[in-house]
Amino acid sequence: MRVSIFILLISVLVACSPKTETPAPANKEYKIVGYVAGYENFDPAQVDANKLTHINYAFANINMKNGGVQFELDTDSLKIAKLMALKQTNPNLKVLYSVGGWVWSDQFSHVAAFEASRKTFAAACVQLMKKHGFDGVDLDWEYPGQRAEDNAFRLSDKGNFTLLLAEIRRALDEQGKQDNTHYLLTIATGADQAYIDHTELGKAQEYLDFINVMCYDYYHGWHYQTGHHANLFPSDQEKFGGNSGLEAIERHLKAGVPAEKLVMGIPFYGREWEKVNPENGGLYQPAMATGMIVAYRDIVEKLQSGKYEKRYDESAKASYLWNAEDSIFISWETPADVAQKVAFIKEKGLGGAMFWEYSLDHNQELLNSINAEFGK
């Protein structure tokens, strides 16, 4: 009886003990995944290969005439060759190519809908990968089961997406056995609950090496209201719904994705609204224009005008700018904001950081912040 009471007391004490986050191992190798957009006026040879673990070259388009994928720009082959040359500097660097994106996701639903087209597409993905010497494939389907730019979508996208990933994984593994290597398969995911509801991430993640969560564009080019487009935490000033990095990651975890497979996206750009209601420094206010993309490098230049007041939402851990003279509001990322997100990644035991997009940085300020916080 005394032993039973003792065991009961120990059980109560353990149950009441405060829970703490399990710190990441000191020697953990975090992923630093940078997208490089082929359509930008940027020389990939300028990429600092030692500050990245993975590069995703964007984008390849889906060509339904032959059921495959292809690069559309005349400059793609040269730019890809320059990215591959970076391995001379960093032999551990992995270079993937990304299919789709905002504009070229229109055919994903058709490809995923049928077994024959899934097999043809998977084979074409491997063929394009081998042609250029990539280390894997990244899919950026925007979005399964939902309207985006001008994409077809079906209710069956939810299950078909999983089947498509399984088929690509099978084709990559088959090729990998021949080449005695492991080819990577990753995806970029939306940050809101709608994306979770229209996918089967708990099943899909079994076929993926990791997932790049697009933790940005919470307020974007469809919104005539200003707001933080990449805040880490929910804002206590939120008026229109919004989102946050914390919520996005928690949704993915709840959906069944292991923390170590989640790579948190960070934007190297801001969102700018014009003709904004001046109340509250323009934050969470109506505007006469939607949120335009503005590169971090251009924001740094705008600050030189002296018109912009730097502001900070402590609850959201998010920076913004207010130009009272011209009624302009800008949601942006500072190096300090980026460092705080990397600290969050480490605290939560996530797989690393992803960013869009390399050429939008200014003198590697944001990339350096990522590397510094990861201790590289």
Report pLDDT for 10: 35
d(CA 309, CA 40): 29
Give first-to-last CA distance, the chain, whole Å.
56
What are the tens digits of pLDDT across the range 245-285? 999 999 999 999 999 999 999 999 999 999 999 999 999 99
Q: Is the CB of residue 248 less than 8 Å from the CB of residue 192?
A: yes
Query: 83 by DSSP, 3-state: which?
Result: helix
Average pLDDT, the chain: 93
With a threshold of 0.85, does the pTM exceed it? yes
| pLDDT value of residue 260 | 98
Rounded distance, CA 257 to CA 195, Å?
A: 14
**Topology of the domain covering 27-267+334-374:** TIM Barrel (3.20.20)
148-191 pLDDT tens trace: 888 899 999 999 999 999 999 999 999 999 999 999 999 999 99
**Residue 246: its H or E element:** helix 245-254
- 8 Å CB contact between 348 and 20: no
182 touches 109 (CB < 8 A): no
For residues 202 and 164, the answer to whether their CB atoms sit within 8 Å is: no
Which pLDDT value is given to residue 25?
55
Catalytic residue among 29, 115, 142, 347: 142
Are residues 32 and 374 in contact, defined by beta-carbon separation less than 8 angstroms?
yes
Q: Is 142 a catalytic residue?
A: yes
Residue-level pLDDT at 369: 98
The per-residue pLDDT string of the chain (376 residues; one tens digit each, 9 = 90 and over) reads 333 333 333 343 334 443 434 455 555 899 999 999 999 999 999 999 999 999 999 999 999 776 689 999 999 999 999 999 999 999 999 999 999 999 999 999 999 999 999 999 999 999 999 999 999 999 999 999 999 888 899 999 999 999 999 999 999 999 999 999 999 999 999 999 999 999 999 999 999 999 999 999 999 999 999 999 999 999 999 999 999 999 999 999 999 999 999 999 999 999 999 999 999 999 999 999 999 999 999 999 999 999 999 999 999 999 999 999 999 999 999 999 999 999 999 999 999 999 999 999 999 999 999 999 999 7
Instruction: Output the CA–CA distances (angstroms, integers) from residue 58 to 55, 78, 81, 100, in the order listed.
Output: 9, 14, 14, 8
Sign of CA dihedral 104, 108, 109, 114: positive
